């Protein structure tokens, strides 16, 4: 499989560069979700076929299926206590490495796997790097029980902070409610500009019914930025 669009080429450049830059024999790896991470997983499969000895923990059922297809050996966090490195994408990343994640609704497993890792590297195309987080809607994962009430609590917090009403995420294809790999729903918050990501992260996660939100602050150690030319930059 080869990248087709310019953005896809930039994602490919980032995902594949992460292999030679960071991955070493014997590593236990967190395998991110989304299209950029999937270029990483495909390249990892090729490296494994050539003898690289690694094992991975996937951050979604989609990544698990791809890893199995391309021959990356898998394990779980029940069997290994710590991971050496997680490589995962982002919907937005600022210059300090704070991210919005969860565009693909995988934020909960992504955060757990990143938390179990000694190092986290974000793989992004150049369009993801922003001065201030917030243009991309912030995903908030909520349990299905009384999600309407949880959404109202989130809306009250956001209103106090001067933001607009959040929305329940529906599938664009058929209008059905999105269900995450853990059986939860996603509420998307339209914030435009997040001045204090760390504070908002804590405020959101305090709300009963909220399982996790997509603000990943202080988690990424480095980022690999891919460009449509096929070049990449490590920061």
Residues in touch with ligand 5RP (CB under 6 A): 11, 32-37, 88-91, 101-107, 110
Residue 175 burial (10 A CB sphere; 0-12, 13-18, 19+): exposed
Pairwise CA distance, residues 123 & 144, whole Å: 31
In the bound complex, what is the minimum distance in angstroms from residue 207's beta carbon to ligand 5RP? 20
Q: Any known ligand binding at 91? A: yes
Pairwise CA distance, residues 232 & 105, whole Å: 26
Burial 14-46 (b: 16+ CB within 10 A, else e): bbbbbbeebbeeebbbbbbbbbbbbbbbbbbbe
Which of residues 72 and 120 has its CB atom nearest to ligand 5RP in the complex?
120
Which of residues 72 and 88 has its CB atom nearest to ligand 5RP in the complex?
88
Q: Any known ligand binding at 25? A: no
Residue 94 near residue 69, CB atoms below 8 Å: no
In the bound complex, what is the minimum distance in angstroms from residue 99's beta carbon to ligand 5RP? 8
The CB-nearest residue to ligand 5RP is 34
Tokens of 4: 């087709």
Q: What angle do CA 182, 185, 190 make, to 5 degrees?
A: 130
Q: Any known ligand binding at 196? A: no
Q: Any known ligand binding at 51? A: no
Pairwise CA distance, residues 195 & 193, whole Å: 6
Going by the DSSP 8-state scheme, the letter that residue 131 receives in this structure is S
Which of residues 85 and 90 has its CB atom nearest to ligand 5RP in the complex?
90
Tell me the three state secondary structure of residue 12.
helix
Which of residues 11 and 169 has its CB atom nearest to ligand 5RP in the complex?
11
Q: Any known ligand binding at 35? A: yes
What residues are labeled active site?
110
Residue 115 burial (10 A CB sphere; 0-12, 13-18, 19+): middle
What is the residue whose two structure tokens read 């995988």? Answer: 106
Which of residues 41 and 51 has its CB atom nearest to ligand 5RP in the complex?
41
Q: Any known ligand binding at 193? A: no
In the bound complex, what is the minimum distance in angstroms from residue 53's beta carbon to ligand 5RP? 26
What residues form the annotated binding site? 33-36, 88-91, 101-104, 128
What residues form the annotated binding site for substrate? 33-36, 88-91, 101-104, 128
């Amino acid at each position: 499989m080869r990248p087709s669009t310019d953005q896809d080429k930039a994602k490919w450049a980032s995902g594949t560069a992460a292999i030679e830059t960071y991955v070493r024999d014997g590593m236990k790896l967190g395998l991110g979700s989304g299209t950029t991470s999937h270029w990483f997983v495909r390249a990892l499969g090729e490296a494994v076929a050539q003898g690289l000895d690694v094992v991975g923990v996937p951050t979604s059922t989609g990544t698990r299926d791809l890893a199995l297809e391309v021959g990356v050996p898998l394990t779980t966090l029940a069997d290994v206590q710590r991971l050496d490195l997680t490589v995962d994408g982002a919907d937005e990343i600022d210059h300090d490495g704070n991210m919005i994640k969860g565009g693909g609704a995988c934020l909960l497993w992504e955060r757990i796997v990143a938390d179990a890792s000694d190092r986290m590297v974000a793989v992004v195309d150049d369009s993801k790097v922003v001065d201030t987080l917030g243009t991309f809607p912030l995903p908030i994962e909520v349990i299905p029980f009384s999600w309407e009430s949880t959404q109202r609590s989130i809306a009250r917090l956001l209103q106090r902070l001067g933001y607009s009403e959040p929305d329940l995420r529906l599938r664009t294809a058929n209008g059905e409610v999105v269900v995450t790999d853990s059986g939860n729903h996603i509420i998307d918050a339209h914030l435009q500009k997040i001045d204090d990501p760390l504070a908002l992260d804590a405020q959101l996660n305090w709300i009963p019914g909220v399982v996790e939100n997509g603000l990943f602050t202080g988690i990424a150690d480095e980022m690999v930025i891919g460009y449509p030319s096929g070049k990449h930059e490590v920061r």
